[in-house]
Structure 1
Amino acid sequence: MHKQLITKQDLISLGYSDYQAKEIIRQSRLYMIELGNEFYDNRKVSSIPLKAVSKILGFEPQILEVK
């Protein structure tokens, strides 16, 4: 099963630097706010839906859930 919520650590595990991962999360949060999801208008929110991250990256990262 693949993760539906992506965190900075997930992006780092894919090979992105700390700065790049933070920027992807920030841009994804802004995208979610544009869609009308005011919940993401908070700096402390660090888990972003896969669809928003996919929109920013241009592809859908496949990250397996750890149980």
Structure 2
Amino acid sequence: MKTATRQDLVNLGFSRYYAQKIFKECKELLVARGYSFYRNSKIKRIPVSVLEEVLNISWEE
């Protein structure tokens, strides 16, 4: 499973503020789907598939 960090979003061109907002929204979506361990603030990586869904983009390296 590919994962991404906030810094990866910044590298895509988002500001730090929007990267944090997007990251938070993705974590809330994961918690709503039953992955309660994403409530932990120490988790700094999220699956790329969730980012693709929230941003409606295709993540290609």
- TM-score w.r.t. length of structure 2: 0.89
Return the structure number with greater helix share. 2
Instruction: Return 5+ residue gaps in structure 1 as ranges.
Output: none
User: What secondary structure, in the 3-state scheme, does the structure 2 residue paired with 1:12 have?
Assistant: helix
Partner of 1:18: 16
TM normalised by structure 1 equals 0.82
Once superposed, which parts of structure 1, at least 4 consecutive aligned residues long, lie more than 4 Å away?
none
Mind listing any 5+ residue stretches in structure 2 that lack a counterpart? none
CA deviation string 1:36-60 (max 9, x = no partner)? 0011011221100011111110112
Cross-structure match for 1:42: 40
Identity percentage of aligned residues = 30
Shift of 1:61: 2.1
In the alignment, what sits opposite 1:29?
Answer: 27
Whole-angstrom distance in 2 between the partners of 1:28 and 1:61 = 15
